Each structure stands twice: as structure tokens, then as C-alpha cells.
Structure 1
């Protein structure tokens, strides 16, 4: 029986093989479609930072006889904040293929099952766990200070951006829960993370994946952020969640901006990341230096290693070449000496001069290493980043033994 539109088929005589269908009735190969798929491998999801083809976000690709490509892309969630960029990048990639006359991109949304498969793939098939365990190859730097107001967060943000500019995969955790300022310094004060089935995708600024408690707090009626007043267990849980639920991917370097002092967060970080290396930030003022030394001492009590001191606000260069030491001098060297007693020598990694450009960059959301790379402070910070940007197995346990 036929449907009236197809010619009836006549079975071949007994003993003879069936004839192949005419070429017009067989699925035609589509080199253009393959070329479009290849071009789409260059489209990177701006939040997950992986190709959309690798994330199973490309549902289908079709190319008609006129060379018009139709691409259907699955977004991770409804209202995905990166949808406009993904649509634009996919359109540009498809249109760049020779022979494609036009590109039509259609956006849809993953089903719950597809989202679950994506999160499982990103976690490598493992249950939710801390990403930076003892066998992680990610180098972790915890930036600490004895007191607030020494420029610790500004230095941390600029170091992260400088490391990313060197081609490294960099993450930044703003662990200063009470005095979070990293989002503002990086120009993403209003950014909100995307959440997929319990997985949090951190916003990206200047190539750095960033997470901060400030991204989760509602604004007050006057536009300011809600104040945080938490005790120890809640603080510990927050830091633990940053290390488990936030998807950073494969990082070369993770920086953690610690709150000033020697409180609950510093202790929690020591327990959760004993392999982290600590950098102490101080000003030249002896009073500040004395307090800064205590933060390094507490880090050592939790098993962390202090690798250096950064002296910030070291002096204000004058037009005649002299330096005006508004906050005194010698604080960085004093902290380094204190932390070296009875331990391996702790060096002063840099003395960062007072800089209007450094302050203005933090206020404007454009770090000085981006806005004014030739500024004296920018040059000093970039030099520190050059010494920190490494990844490897030196001093790391490998997780097996030789018998």
C-alpha cells in the first residue's frame, strides 16, 4: 500500500540484491553544516568559559539550499543573563563560514534533565565536593592584613586581573563577608551569579571569575547593600559554600581576599585550605605593621605558609623626584622580620607607592593595571603577579605511594 505520493516499489526477482535508491532519495552530506559546527566550537559560554558545543548547548544545525544556516541553541536557564552575547557570537560564527549567506539563531532552554546532565558533566561525575582539595593543581593565595584600610582588597583585585592578563585562569573569592568590596573595585557591583541546579556560576570581570557575598544580598531602599551581621557558624558555611557550590572550573590561580584581623573566616580558611599560601599586606606605619604580623602568625597556626609581605602606601612620589612618606617607612620590612623569626625567611614582595590612579581605578571599577599600566603602582603590582603566576606539583602530595 502507498500513500499516493510515493511510487510503488517492486520487489527484486528472487536471488537478486535490492537496488540502491537513487542518490536524490538518500540523505545528502552537508559540508556546510559540518563547517558551521566547527565554527561553533569557537563560541565560548561567557559564564562557564567553555565552548557551547562541549556543553551540549547546540541542539541542531541546518543549512538550506540557499546557504541559510539555522542554529538552535539551548540556554541553561530561562532569563540567562548571557543570552544576548551567546546569540550574537553564534550568529557571527555561523555567518563567518564561507558559503553561508545568512544565519538564523533560535534560542531555547534546557530541560531539567539536560541541566542535570550539564552540571554532572561540569563536576566530572563526582558528587558535590570542595574543588580545591589537597591534590588540586590550583595555586591558592590568601591575602591577609592585620587591620582594615591598608588597601588589601584593591591589591588583591589588581593582582587577579594582572594574573589573568598573563593568560592564566584566575578565580577570586571575596571572603571579606562584612566589608566586601571586590565587586565594586572590579566594576561588577550589580552582577548576580547564575544558578543551575545548585551550581553557582560566578560573574567574570577582566578575565577573572569572581564571587562575593555582596552578589547575593538585596539592596536597601536607598540603593546601598544590606549589612551582614553573622556569627562564626554562618561565616564558615558561607566560605564552605563558595568552595563547593561555585563552579570555577580548572583554575591556575585562586586568590582569596580575607577580612582584616584574625577572626572566624581566617580560621575557617586555614581549616578548609591548609595548602593556601598567605601574603600579608601592611602599610609602612609601625603600628599597622605590628598588627599585620599577627595575621601571618594565625595563618601559620592553621598550617598555611606565609610567602611574603606587600607594603602598600609606601610613599608619594613628588615632581622633584623625592618621596613623601605620609605613613612613615619600614613597616613592610618589620613585618617580614617578625614573620621570619624561627621560620624560613619571609621576603618583602613589593613596596607599592601611593597612587592617585590606583585609588581612582578602585573607585571607578577599572583596576589600575588596566586603566594605567605605566603608573608606578601598576608596575609594582604587575611585577608581583609575575612572581606568583605559576602552577605545578612542587610540594604537593600526589595521592599515591610507592611500594
Structure 2
């Protein structure tokens, strides 16, 4: 259900539908970072998920300090990468629709609270004490140590637990509470290990993603550089080919004319040619030939012009560095210090839990003593 649909459902329906719509709407207005209602201003990411601007800024600052890359972070809802401009999170667009829905939701919750305060609900009934399944109406008040099940007094006297060893339920309750302290501590420690492992794994993945991104950018830049150089040299070579081709074609035509003028078989006809005509018809073609030989393109490819040696790559050092990537080895002193701090924290926690249960047991014993004293005084 969308946010506008949830908001419209608040205006109609019964009380149960109204409460269900409020709960559904509240779930959609929870920030995935602070796990509370969105605080204004609310920004919308390119993936269409919403964040408090304050939470988005904290996430952005944390990612910036953890990695070299600045200007990007991942959406906590869908893990899509969000690229920011020079304005940072302040360049993200505000979601005014969500802000208006939050205002309407708070107003609706306030009206609902005031109506509930005017007509308070009755207190919930106390939880019923467990009854024995074998004897109807009998309360469970003892614990069978042999079978490890709670039962009633009639089961011990007449029932299936006549030959079993039993103990008062209060003693077993206190004993199991004291034993539950270290177990809870172990569970907390396991949860700490799991969360720490998840955080470390995510950190490693982010760093590898950053290195892969850098390699991709360098790969693209180097390929572009080689392609540009190749296009430039190919264009220059094509221009030289066209220039030399045109010069060769013009020189061939000029040589044919010069040879045809020199092959006149009749000497009288050749001598009768006037001086000016001879100069223009014979000398001028000769001069044209000389001029044509000197008009050839002077620019020629330099030695090793086609070589791409300047773009030769040697990644042996980088390959060695990539193969040597490993976790940072902490010194022995740091490891010992971390272990000592960890054990001290958990020992303090365990001691506090144990002390609490001992105090609780002492209060129970003190209550029994006062009960015995009261009975003695009354008698």
C-alpha cells in the first residue's frame, strides 16, 4: 500500500481499520538509518527511497572518512550506489509529499491519543497461573527434578511423580535465573561477533569495489589515450598518401609532354620553331619538370613513426601488490590489549548480572524470613 492510500484510509473505516492503517503508515515513515519517524527535511534518493537529511549526511560523512572515494554512498534500503555532486546531500531533492504525510500522521496520532485519554481503556487482566494437565484446577507449584518438568503437589502424592525427586518451584526458578546469566552473556558475545564479522565483511567489499572502480577508470582512460594516438597517426598517414599520389600523377603527365616534344623526327621543322615558341614549348616544360621535382612534399614519417613503444605497460609491480593484499596484522600488544578490554567488559557485565540475581534471591529469602517471623508472632 502506498503512502497516499494509507493516508486516505485514515479518514474512513472503523476503529480497527483506523488503527491498522496507522500502524501500516508508521512502518512506511520509518527512516532505515535511525529507525524513527523521518525528521524534516526528508530527501529522496535517485532510487526513490527516502532518508532524513541528517542521517544521509552522517552516512555520507562516514563513507567519506572510510574510503578515498568522496561523493558517493550506498542506499541502506536497496544498496544502490548514490553519486552526489559538489553540494553533497544538500544537492538531493526534498520530498515534500512525505513531509506533509508526516505532519498529517502526527496530527492524526495526536487526535487519537487525546480521544484515548478521554476514555481510558481498562487495565489488562493479570496472566493466568499455569494449571496441571493431569489434575484439573491444581496450580503448578513444584518441579520434578527426575523428569525435568513442572507439576503439582497431587502428582507427587498420587500421580505419576510419586517416586521422583521434586523441588520447590521457587528454588528451581532462582537457580535457572542464575544459570541464565552466563548463557545470555554468551548469546550477547556471539551476537557481537556476528555483527562485527558483518561489518568487517562489508568494509572489505566496499574497499574492493573502490579498487575495481579505480581500475576500470584507469583502463578506460588508457584505452582512450591509445585510440586517440592511433586515430591521429592514421589520419596523418592518409594525408601523406593523398599528397604523394597527386604529385606522382601530375609529374607523369608533365614527363609525357616533355618526351613528346623532344621526339620530333624532322630537323627542319624542329629548327624552324621560333625562339619564343621554342622557349615556351620546350624550355618551359623543362622548367616545369624541375619545378615539379622540387614541389614534392617535404614532410616524411620519422623513423619508428608507427611504433607504439611509448604506450608499453609494465604492471608487474601492481600485480605483486594486488597478490599481496591481505588483512592488516595487528601487533601482539594490540591483540592482548583488545582481549583484555573485551574480557573486562564482559566480566563486568557478567558480574553485574550475577549480582542482580543474588540480590533478587536475597530479597526472596528475606521475604520468607519475614513471613516466618510474622507467623511466629501471630502464634
TM normalised by structure 1 equals 0.17
Which structure's relative contact order is higher, taking Cα pairs within 8 Å and 6+ residues apart? Answer: 1
TM normalised by structure 2 equals 0.18
More strand by share: 1
Q: Greater Rg, structure 1 or structure 2?
A: 2
